[in-house]
Structure 1
Amino acid sequence: MTKDIVLEQAPDLRRIYATALRRRGSSSETLPDVRYSRAGIRVDVDDLVAYANVCRFPVGGALPPTYPHLVAFPLQMGVMSGDEFPLPLLGAVHVENRIEVVRPITLDDRLDVAVWASDLRPHRRGRQVDLVSEVSVLGDVVWRGTSTYLSRGTEHPEAPPSEPPSTAPLERVAAGPLWRLGEGTGRAYAAVSGDWNPIHVHALTARPLGFPSAIAHGMYTYAQVLASLGPKLPEVGLTSRVWFRKPVRLPSTVRLRTAFEPSRTLSVLENAQGEPSEIEHAVVANTW
């Protein structure tokens, strides 16, 4: 039977990350049957404006399609930091994300959020798991998200990969926006998102976890892509999926290429500084 944990306020992410230093995950081969939820959440205007400014979304109208992820993210961390969760929180890498916008969310909406873990499975470099989030208003689901996290460990070469669409058609597309991501990019995004994972904050905290420098948050670069596409995307019926291919080391310069088709866009965020220039950091597919 599912254990429902109803929270009055969001978990303290700084405390979760601090305690995660002492936790390495359980030995279980199954996921805990637990569901975290919060009800009646009102989006703070100042928080929304700060997020929009960092990620370059316009302010006004519907919430950015990635913003509900921020509301659900503390509940994700609550699930993943539990004693029975089989994967360690620190060092977990966000490898994919899927978003479905059922209808626009406005500042007037009171949000009910629920999060649970699903589909623990092998990955060629370890194990991965989905954190599923649903946002409802007055009993109707208005937004869904699935975040896939990889924990490196015993390799499983036979595990089926999840591959993004081919980016070959984008080779004929002229380069779009060019973005310089400074060394402090991770801290700036952490300040508006609450995601203070040490791999994003500073090189000194990223190195013990296997990264030579701090890396940009995947949801930050994903948000930048969606913000850039802006008016090309609908407010209703959007399904957006991102595959995080190679981490964006900080500092870096990246560029975006996008192909537009009826009811579909395909984008690649790639390295634009030094060699090799063909590194793909993220592939984003939007359909509606």
Structure 2
Amino acid sequence: MDYVTQIIDPPPSRTRLLLDGVRALRKPKLDGAPLLPKERLVRAAAELSGAGIEAYGRACGFRREQGVPLSYPHVLAFPLHLMLLTRPSFPYPASGMVHLANRIRQHQRLHPGQALRLEVYAERWVAHPKGQALSIATRAYGADALVWESDSLYLRRDVKDPVGQPWDDVLPLQEEGLLRTQRWVLPADLGRRFAKVSGDFNPIHTSLIGAKLFGFRRAIAHGMWTLGRALAAQQPPGGLDQAEAHCDFKLPIFLPGQVALWNHPVTGPRREFEVRNFAGDKPHMRGLFIWNESVR
């Protein structure tokens, strides 16, 4: 597919994203199959700022000696995701889009202060049993080389006759032998705190009233916070050279609340894990974390 590149400089303000979101609450009824947006949104020099990394680390539980968190570049790219989802060319209202899954791959070590060229575009439609899903690609380049990439899957519920390849949510995990290794107590304001560092002010995460408007009894935790917290609990010290994280989001986590990390009690560079309720019978996220250990 041929994309039209648009340089976004400076990045959009929170106010602009909010206004764009309001304007995108209503979309004309589709006549036929949905079309992929043709825009490729680009930030030419997005900095991995030390202050931003530190704030994100505090929110998710990363320690400074772990280096740049594997999931942090998503924070820099997320405003471009919102811009794409609220463009007139996107066929569905952005509100109510559900984050289903995320795949992250890092090819080179990232450094505080490093500038990345970020590119975000709609990659493909996916036919999901509950509606129409869309994969949004994020590619991060440093010195003309791809250093980090992710694919985020978003779902629009209740769309009849979805197009694209069938959705496959099966991660190659061994659920047998997973043990509860950590308990996380989540405060009521977790969504608002994470919104300040991630830029995701979706009211289902930040407001009781907003959550109820979308059918939730209380505010729910960000899926990307859950992933970040799980990676922080397992990422080794010394930073990462190459790494991958795959996750499927399951049941929402209501705030306040408590959940637990379940994984295999191993020390090698491959971790299969789930975030469940404390009793262990309700999955909130299923994931796989792989890394090549850095040379110390």
TM-score (norm: length of structure 1): 0.91
Matched residue, 2:234 = 229
Task: Identify which of 159, 168, 174 aligns with 1:162.
Answer: 168
Task: Identify which of 280, 285, 290 aligns with 1:282.
Answer: 285
Amino acid in structure 2 at the alignment position of 1:271: N
Residue 18 of structure 1 deviates from its aligned partner by 3.9
Matched residue, 1:267 = 273
What aligned pairs does 1:123-138 form with structure 2 within 5 A after superposition? 123-138=128-143
Matched residue, 2:118 = 113
Matched residue, 1:182 = 187
Amino acid in structure 2 at the alignment position of 1:72: A
Residue 74 of structure 1 deviates from its aligned partner by 0.7
Matched residue, 2:7 = 6
Residue 204 of structure 1 deviates from its aligned partner by 0.5
2:123 partner SS = strand
1:12-67: CA deviations, max 9, x gaps?
24432344234234526111111000112223322221111111111256310000
Q: Does 1:93 align with 2:98?
A: yes
1:234–1:241 distance in 2 versus 1, CA, 3 Å = farther
Cα root mean square deviation, aligned: 2.3
Cα distance between partner residues in 2 of 1:43 and 1:157:
37
Amino acid in structure 2 at the alignment position of 1:38: R
Amino acid in structure 2 at the alignment position of 1:254: V
Cα distance between partner residues in 1 of 2:48 and 2:142:
13
Amino acid in structure 2 at the alignment position of 1:281: H
CA contact (8 A) 1:182 1:252 kept: yes
1:251-280: CA deviations, max 9, x gaps?
11000111248542100100116xxx5110
Amino acid in structure 2 at the alignment position of 1:181: L
1:105-141: CA deviations, max 9, x gaps?
1013211111001112322111110110011111111
CA contact (8 A) 2:131 2:162 kept: no
2:179 partner SS = coil
Residue 87 of structure 1 deviates from its aligned partner by 2.2
1:156–1:282 distance in 2 versus 1, CA, 3 Å = farther
Cα distance between partner residues in 2 of 1:171 and 1:120:
33
CA contact (8 A) 2:127 2:167 kept: no
1:121 partner SS = strand
Unaligned stretches of 5+ residues in structure 1? none
Matched residue, 1:31 = 36
Amino acid in structure 2 at the alignment position of 1:101: Q
Amino acid in structure 2 at the alignment position of 1:52: G
1:46–1:35 distance in 2 versus 1, CA, 3 Å = same
Amino acid in structure 1 at the alignment position of 2:186: L
CA contact (8 A) 2:220 2:252 kept: yes
1:215 partner SS = coil
CA contact (8 A) 1:123 1:156 kept: no
1:186 partner SS = helix
What aligned pairs does 1:248-263 form with structure 2 within 5 A after superposition? 248-259=253-264, 260=266, 263=269
Percent same amino acid at aligned positions?
28
Aligned residue-pair number: 284
